[in-house]
Amino acid sequence: MKKIAIITIVSVVIFLADDAQAKDLFVAPGGSDAVTYAANDISHPWTSILRAMQQVQAGDVVYFRQGTYDIPSGGIVISTGFAAGTTESPIRLTSYPNELATWRSTQTNVTIRVGRDHWHFDNLNFVHEPSGSMSGDRGFFQCGYSTTGADGFWVKESTFSMNSRGDNYGSVHLKMESPCTNVEITHNTIIHSGGSGLTNSSGIIAFGNNTFKINNNTVAGPPMGIYLKHANSSTCGNVSGEVKNNWVRNNERRAFFSNFNCVVIENNIFDSRASGSAEGGNQFNESNGVSGGDNNLINHNTFLGGLWFHDDASGAINNTLTNNIIYAKAWNLHPWSGGTIGTGNVNSNYNLFQAGSVVLMDGTNYTLSSWRTVSGEDVNSLSGTPTFINISLDSIDDYALTSSSLGYRAASDGKDMGADISLVGVNSEGLVSPTETCSDGIQNQDETGVDCGGVCPACETPATTYSLANFLSLLANWLGAGDEDSDVNNDGIVNTRDLGIIMSGWGN
């Protein structure tokens, strides 16, 4: 028993010692990188990003005071010699509360390459202003290029701006070359401007990653919005990937482009009307010699500018396509000769397509009726023009359907087809709203009362009640011609019938 007690005490002491190591650290314009780790506090900050990254330990939070901090020449490679965080004690770099720090890079090569576990970045402003043409396969952040790997890399609630382009560039660039796993890129605003050509330049680009969340981001301006480029594992048990609640627009090539397998792609607004692609501004699978774009759940998205399932080998196969709006262009399916489609190759239903040609398969146009005959799919889908709240589509709210629109409350779950705009974008938590029912104690849906009327059972008509005033009026006018207060049965006579009605409905 003494040995057990000693071990327990030692374990507690070690735990408390480890916990005590976590520290709040500070960086500020005018600080000094000569400050030691032990001496760093809000009154004695460092002055550079690199010094903070070299000194931070697992569990620490580094607060950057408002100001602009330049990435050093050559960029920063977080690898051997830098600390790693843990699931319980990540390393966090963020702006000081109620302030916003800007990290600025003029690099044309590496900016920040993350190669240690559980480094988290949030509430920062990242500005990339390269001094010349960008090198290929680069980004403001890169994960997966270091031999040390990077598990649990997060970038959240931050802003990115980029004024140039680079081949396979991404403001966030993920690669499975060495483990870049359990990645979370969420609630960021990514804006690109300037440059021409280099059409693989992207807001977020990924190569073969299996475990990731790309959720609630707003991406505008790059040729490619979100680009999942090289196929990941085709074994769905190895994949836990999701792309949810993003708003992507103003992309000259694709709003969304994926060769990934087994991913949940849900509740996004992919507005690719600016795309110059005749085939469709959103795409699954491409002619890169690798099968991909398979076994995905594609649910409740708003695809404007069309959707393209490309033919490479067997094409984008075994995808579930439900509750989406696919508008302004047809669903382009296996557009090259030899493509085939049939039961088991795609599961498509409850979608809202454009009027007229809804599917272009192997160069042949199909109306919804003829597509159903050929494929057996989309039995409950619709064809026509959606009516959005505001046709300008300048904000997320504009993409909501009006109550008179085709597709309104026509999805398989009773909701609107397309994206639920309440879940989309950086200001939403992305939490699914409770299902509206006729027993939730709330007047919602099209109810005329709480849980009654509209789609619910009719509301009960409340019984009429009568008061002492009615009774006294009856006595005063007993058996007379009656008046409005006493003649409660409206027969023109005040009599015992009125008395009986009043007494049966006595109120106070």
Q: Report strand pairing: 61-64 vs 382-383.
A: unpaired
Q: Looking at this protein, which amino acid is placed at residue 87?
A: T
Average pLDDT of span 34-46: 98
Average pLDDT of span 284-300: 84
- pLDDT over 70 (residue 507): no
The top-scoring range by mean pLDDT among 136-145, 314-323, 355-364, 380-389 is 380-389
More confidently predicted of 20 and 367: 367
- pLDDT over 70 (residue 230): yes
Q: Report strand pairing: 269-271 vs 302-304.
A: parallel
More confidently predicted of 152 and 338: 152
Mean pLDDT of the chain: 86
The CA distance from 354 to 359, in Å, is: 9
More confidently predicted of 87 and 439: 87
pLDDT at 267: 98
More confidently predicted of 287 and 322: 322
Q: Looking at this protein, which amino acid is placed at residue 275?
A: S
pLDDT band at residue 116 under the 50/70/90 scheme: very high
| CA R_g for the chain | 31
pLDDT at 316: 84
pLDDT band at residue 463 under the 50/70/90 scheme: low
> Tokens 């003649």 correspond to what residue?
487
Number of Cα atoms under 13 Å in the Cβ half of residue 106: 7
- pLDDT over 50 (residue 474): yes
Instruction: Out of 111-125, 333-347, 365-379, pick the least confident.
Output: 333-347
More confidently predicted of 488 and 479: 488
pLDDT at 177: 73
Give percent above pLDDT 90 in the chain: 60
- pLDDT over 70 (residue 484): no
The CA distance from 212 to 282, in Å, is: 20
Strand ranges across the sheet with 346-349: 24-27, 61-64, 91-95, 119-122, 154-156, 183-186, 211-215, 240-244, 263-266, 297-299, 319-322, 346-349
- pLDDT over 50 (residue 338): no
Average pLDDT of span 100-129: 95
Burial class (CB in 10 A: 0-12, 13-18, 19+), 394: exposed
| C-beta neighbour count of 168 within 10 angstroms | 21
Instruction: Out of 65-69, 100-104, 142-146, 392-396, pick the least confident.
Output: 142-146
pLDDT at 462: 65
Give the model confidence (pLDDT) of 164-187 as tens digits: 888 888 999 998 877 899 999 999
Nearest to 300 by CA among 350, 353, 231: 350
The CA distance from 402 to 275, in Å, is: 26
Instruction: Out of 160-169, 224-233, 273-282, 336-345, pick the least confident.
Output: 336-345
Instruction: Out of 45-49, 69-73, 345-349, pick the least confident.
Output: 345-349
pLDDT at 319: 92
pLDDT at 15: 42
| C-beta neighbour count of 26 within 10 angstroms | 20
The CA distance from 137 to 167, in Å, is: 6
pLDDT at 290: 64
CB 188 within 8 A of CB 156: yes
Number of Cα atoms under 13 Å in the Cβ half of residue 255: 29
pLDDT at 466: 57
Give the model confidence (pLDDT) of 388-406 as tens digits: 999 999 999 999 999 999 9
> Tokens 């690199």 correspond to what residue?
50
pLDDT band at residue 9 under the 50/70/90 scheme: very low
Domain boundaries, the chain: 22-399, 468-504
The CA distance from 488 to 505, in Å, is: 11
Nearest to 247 by CA among 227, 272, 228: 272
CA 180-186-187 angle, to 5 degrees, is 155
pLDDT at 16: 41
In CATH, which of 2.150.10, 3.60.60, 3.40.50, 2.160.20 is domain 22-399?
2.160.20
